[in-house]
Amino acid sequence: MRASPFSERTERLILAVIGLDLLLQMAETAETLAHLETLFFWADVGIWLAYTIEWSLRIRRARDRRKYALSFIGIVDFMAILPLWAFTGLDLGALRAFRLFRLFVATAKLATRTSAVARLARAFRFAVDEAGALFAGTCIIVITAGFGMYHLENPVQPDVFSSVSDGLWWAVVTLTTVGYGDIQPVTGGGRILATVAMFAGIGVIGSACGIMADALREASAAESS
């Protein structure tokens, strides 16, 4: 539940401002639009001012202002206005260095104001035990596969599998089914281990999807009840 409930129309306006902020950040990186640097700067200032107004209104409307200010939503809202007031004296180039910070804040603000994301967060809470067990099992598989691959491949590929960390990197890439192909086994034992790791990776991803599906179902049921 939000600490400071806004009307539905105001929430939609805030979402529109966040969407505009994300679009501006994408446009600022286009070289063909470099001549609009000044326009982007003032648009950024306008966005920050809108965030400031929103933060001020939420503080004013909150039943417990301290609770809101220290909540996740309150911290994200404050971080959104921080660059404007903390770095006002910097030039355009310095402000541009905070793009990644702005991207994180805008995305976080969007997440805190989207019901689907709230439902997903609730589902994570329902699945925390199962997800923890799956994560522990995955770590065991990664460590076992990483050490095993190092010992199997190091004698014939000392430059490729020079340490256990290389084996662990290969195990992570393989189990997540990313498969960069930058490191691969050439021995028979290594390929057998790789085959087992690939099937284990498919099982891990399938289990994670099943856990999240059940958790989302529970979250939806709890929300409707």
- What is the chain's alpha carbon radius of gyration, rounded to the nearest angstrom? 24
Among the four given CATH numbers 1.10.287.70, 3.90.110.10, 3.40.1710.10, 3.40.50.1820, the one describing domain 126-224? 1.10.287.70
Q: Using a cut of 0.85, tell me whether the model's pTM lies above it.
A: no
Q: How many CB atoms lie within 10 A of CB 158?
A: 10
Single-letter amino acid, residue 18 = I
Q: pLDDT of 166-211, one tens digit each?
A: 999 999 999 888 878 788 899 999 999 999 999 999 999 888 888 8
Q: pLDDT of 9-27, one tens digit each?
A: 777 787 788 888 888 878 8
Question: What's the rounded Cα separation, in Å, for the pair 16 and 109?
Answer: 11
Q: What is the residue extent of each domain of the chain?
A: 8-113, 126-224
Average pLDDT over all residues of the chain: 80
Count, in order, helices (H) and strands (E) of the chain.
Answer: 10, 0
For residue 161, what are the CA distances in angstroms to 30, 143, 173? 40, 15, 14
Residue 2's pLDDT band, with cuts at 50, 70 and 90, is very low
Least confident of 65-74, 77-86, 95-104, 142-151: 95-104
CATH topology of domain 8-113: Four Helix Bundle (Hemerythrin (Met), subunit A) (1.20.120)
Q: pLDDT of 49-87, one tens digit each?
A: 888 888 888 888 888 888 888 887 778 778 777 766 655
Alpha helices in 97-156 (DSSP H): 99-112, 115-126, 128-153
Question: What's the rounded Cα separation, in Å, for the pair 102 and 47?
Answer: 11
- Torsion-angle region of 127 (φ positive above 0: left; ψ -120 to 50: alpha; else: beta): alpha
